[in-house]
Structure 1
């Protein structure tokens, strides 16, 4: 895996970092962000069992638990030789930690961030991020004092696995939960696991079926897919808790399967990094090519105007000298200054605004061939809609004249990276994973207690389920 990690870092360094700086695109991930352990983000309604799951994983009471909301901040739990804690300002200001980006959400968010170090074996390979329980009302900024959906999106984009917990009392019905699915988790369903927790509270299959169906109904409103993701149905065993009348064996296997997915997060991480660099490179390519085309056009128009004025007033000056009308030279010089000022401060500024307003047309022209392919057209337009506001803002503030022209070599290198090198790297990774694994077909007793969301009314606890083959961890 180190070979793939080094290759990804090399691609970021050349050509992506240089082009990002040249066209003022967002910076690529730092070395610290690329080298960090795998991250698992835990989301869910309050009292859905996130913190209890963390304590079960680590075999220690790391997080406070309770029926009422017990935590209103984000807790980053990672490995340390001794059990210590650090507050938010110390976390976001540490250059060795990959959380500097959180400071842009404001001091209120930073004060709600904590780092906990624990000497647990699992934390050597996986960092857990526990989040505040989601609440019923989705007011402006959720009454938290910071952009909660934005912060969730920030963590989710960087996580290698996102676990979303629901409980029987609130199966996906809170306003904040629905808002997070719409605004924060869109486009990352490939690394999201949905868990219906606390199934040991059910005393009958009827109660289980009602909660499961309600969860599927609510998820169907916020996940734009024909088939919803699989839902893990499980529980965390606690002492002195009343036992359910339902058979628990399959739900226990589902819990073990869920923990197995979490332990495979380091393997997911390399694949996620390739996905991340592919997305970064494609967006940088769109951003740079549109700005480069507009800047090239602007500089061409400016050069023509300057050439015209130079010829005009140079000719007038030469004529004045040739005819002995030297006294006219100051007037010609003043007229030249006024004309150059008119061109620079009025005509060229209007030209710049017109070119920036035509970014969409420039994008369509540059990618006219690719846009003929339907699937590719949808992806390109989605990416352009995502980055175009920022591209316009940068062009307006910096001026099109400030961008150095992209060389043919850089453009060819960028095209090769997005179209050939990164897809080849992903193919090599999958080959390496396949060669390293020789999993036997999953036995029936190893299958997880999960249910297809498209069939919410089937309250079965066994059968009709498929399991992912177990794979060895590569780190």
Structure 2
């Protein structure tokens, strides 16, 4: 008889024999050899992609600064309230893949980082059963171990964190960095976050926690949402985080951590309870990948599904390795996604401006505030949303809720904007045309060139030949 399970891994649990996974260090901790092997940490990076990466990055910077940013600046795209959008710095485009860890307190986020980084006990981030991490912590590569203050990170032009200063002094006091000579950090950067505590109010943190999370979400290549199976209560703060994760489903991975703390016969029930709790928050047809295990350096508890947990860990590492290999493609795709949002923003502002100019009363009779308020509250009555939705290559699902613009116009006067038709000149052309050219031509072509096979890249570039003139990356 077939057993229908929530996920294939549960079927494996039901049939797998409980076995002991060998491989331990002298101090009794688990071996990290599979981490080195899957992420190829001992291998020197080489090949045509490595050599062409600066050129790909240069082209992406040029497209952003020449074709996308000018229209963003004109219509203040980077000044949305409650979003992580801000002007992209060159340091962000040069940065390594970023892996963001989110989730309730005591889920094991920090322990995962300590384990993957390979920190010794004197240099590990603090962990504990009670809430320990109160800061956003950047784990990045450095030749020697040292801590870096958040304000120093934000003012370093070679680091991608300058725009975080907008969240104020309160956040800067809860933002820090650690440089660490770890092989894995030569390939990526980890962001550890304060655990979500449902009975804690935003104002008690002293900075806008959700908005800061959104900033990192917008830039993350992979988002690990970590849960402790004994703490599956879902509250308003976690709901708010998942609301901000909408549109980033492909980057989300759910980590069902500390699974060896549960008796094998209960594991499936708890796993089902997790999905039951998350179902209202993840409203997509294809749920995110879930990895079940105990992701730290301690040995698995005897009598649990050790073999399965190790395989799950290897699968997660393979996922991370794919993020490293595809980092440039992700940057181009993220840039295109951003440009699409910027284009829709410009089209909406143009329609709001037209609705205002068509309906504003004469100053002689007054009533301007009431008319503008009515347009903001009911843009559908002034053909604002409908006209943008009917524009070529605009998806109605990408149009922000009207409340976003109610907040936007709290800090920006509608009269400070000019229509799209005025954003054209003989020398530079039309800003909207340039952004559309980036979205529908330049960025897809750049993405296509990155996806070429190594032999094709070498043939096109000529930089892969050795001193004899032969292509050193082609197969013998």
Q: TM-score, normalised by structure 1?
A: 0.71
CA positional deviation for 1:82:
1.1
Alignment partner, residue 68 of structure 2: 16
Structure with a larger share of its residues in helix: 1
Are the counterparts in 2 of residues 40 and 265 from structure 1 also a CA contact under 8 Å? Answer: no
Gaps of 5+ in 2: 1-52, 79-85, 458-476
**Residue number in structure 2 paired with 1:250:** 308
Distance in 2 between the 1:124 and 1:396 partners? Answer: 45
Structure 2 residue matching 1:232: 3-state secondary structure: strand
Q: How does 1:55-94 map to 2 (within 5 A)?
A: 55-60=114-119, 61=121, 62-94=124-156
Pairwise CA distance, 1:285 = 2.1
Structural mapping, 1:268-417, within 5 Å: 268-292=326-350, 346=364, 350=368, 357=375, 361=382, 363-364=384-385, 366-367=387-388, 369-370=390-391, 376-380=394-398, 382-383=399-400, 385=402, 388-389=405-406, 392-393=409-410, 396=413, 398-400=415-417, 405-407=422-424, 409-410=429-430, 411-417=432-438
User: In the alignment, does 2:77 pair up with 1:25?
Assistant: yes
Going from structure 1 to structure 2, the CA distance change for 1:6 and 1:379 (only over 3 Å counts) comes to farther
Number of aligned residue pairs: give it: 388
Q: Is the 8 A contact 1:22 1:403 kept in 2?
A: no
Q: 1:118 aligns with which of 156, 180, 187?
A: 180
Between the aligned partners of 1:42 and 1:426, the Cα distance in structure 2 is 27
Question: Could you say if the C-alpha distance between residues 288 and 173 of structure 1 is closer, same or farther in structure 2, counting changes exceeding 3 Å?
Answer: closer
Residues 200-211 of structure 1: pairs in structure 2 closer than 5 A = 200-204=260-264, 206-211=265-270
Answer yes or no: is 1:54 the counterpart of 2:108: no
Q: CA RMSD in A?
A: 3.5
Q: Does residue 128 of the first structure (1) align with residue 190 of the second (2)?
A: yes
**Shift of residue 135, structure 1, vs aligned partner:** 1.9
- Structure 1 residues 14 and 123, CA gap change in structure 2 (3 angstroms): same
* 1:267 aligned residue: 325
TM-score calculated relative to the size of structure 2 = 0.71
Q: Deviations over 1:77-98 (max 9, x none)?
A: 1011111102222222333322
Secondary structure at 1:252 match in 2: helix
Larger Rg: 1
SS of alignment partner, residue 329 of structure 2:
helix
Counterparts of 2:315 and 2:359, CA distance in 1: 63
1:39 pairs, out of 92, 98, 119, with: 98
Q: Which protein, 1 or 2, shows the higher relative CO under an 8 Å CA cutoff with sep ≥ 6?
A: 2
Where do 5+ consecutive residues of structure 1 fail to align? 303-341, 437-475
Change (3 A) 1:47 1:94: same
